[in-house]
Amino acid sequence: MTPEILSSVFLLLLVLDPLGNVPFVLSLLREQTPAQKRRIILRECAIATAVLVAFLFVGDWLLAVMRLSDPALEISGGLILFLIALRMVFPPAGHNLAEAEPRPAPFIVPLAVPMIAGPSALAMVLLASRQSGDPLPWVGAVLLASAVNTGILLISDPLARILGRSGLEAMERLMGLILTTMAVQMLISGLKVAFATA
């Protein structure tokens, strides 16, 4: 696996934000038994992975239909990631996901979509599909990132006990800072290409 793919795995993990989603998963599945939690998490993560992989193969076609250029996608993707990063670093009021209304048995919504396969993750795989002539290597990146994300969500209960609320918030802010830097780099790259071809 090339350094570019490894970088994409890391960026996708930042976008998926499994640590930031732990409180949401705990709240959403708090009425389920441990066995039911594992089954639901595995099912929803599998659905989200399938959606992301599908976008790898149809992303180039979608961009062609919508007549979107590489710089436009890179700039918009950078803006989306930057806004997400700001929310991670500076959570808005009422961000306490642990108090979210529980749902008895979520299916696709809201776990698979949009919590895991959200707009930012879909935009990222669309960009990868547009920039790469062969989407197959990126399938491995999506599968690896999804596997790590699934593993973290599966251990959400012990992870929450170990890190605590403050620990989870600190980790989310750290990932937000890293994501901010990567989003700015995407914006710079997109703007360079846009102005060079203008």
pTM of the predicted structure, to 2 decimals: 0.76
Joined together, the tokens standing for residue 143 give: 């599968």
Spatial CB neighbours of 81, under 8 Å, sequence gap ≥ 6: 15, 120, 124, 179, 182, 183, 186
Spatial CB neighbours of 105, under 8 Å, sequence gap ≥ 6: 32, 36, 40
Question: DSSP assignment, residue 91?
Answer: P
Joined together, the tokens standing for residue 169 give: 């918030």
Spatial CB neighbours of 66, under 8 Å, sequence gap ≥ 6: none
Q: Where are the domains of the chain?
A: 3-197
- Give per-residue pLDDT as tens, 17-53: 898 788 878 878 888 899 999 999 999 999 999 999 9
- Give per-residue pLDDT as tens, 116-152: 887 778 878 877 766 666 777 789 899 999 999 999 9
How are the residues of the chain apportioned to helix, strand and coil, as percentages rounded to the nearest 5?
Answer: 80, 0, 20
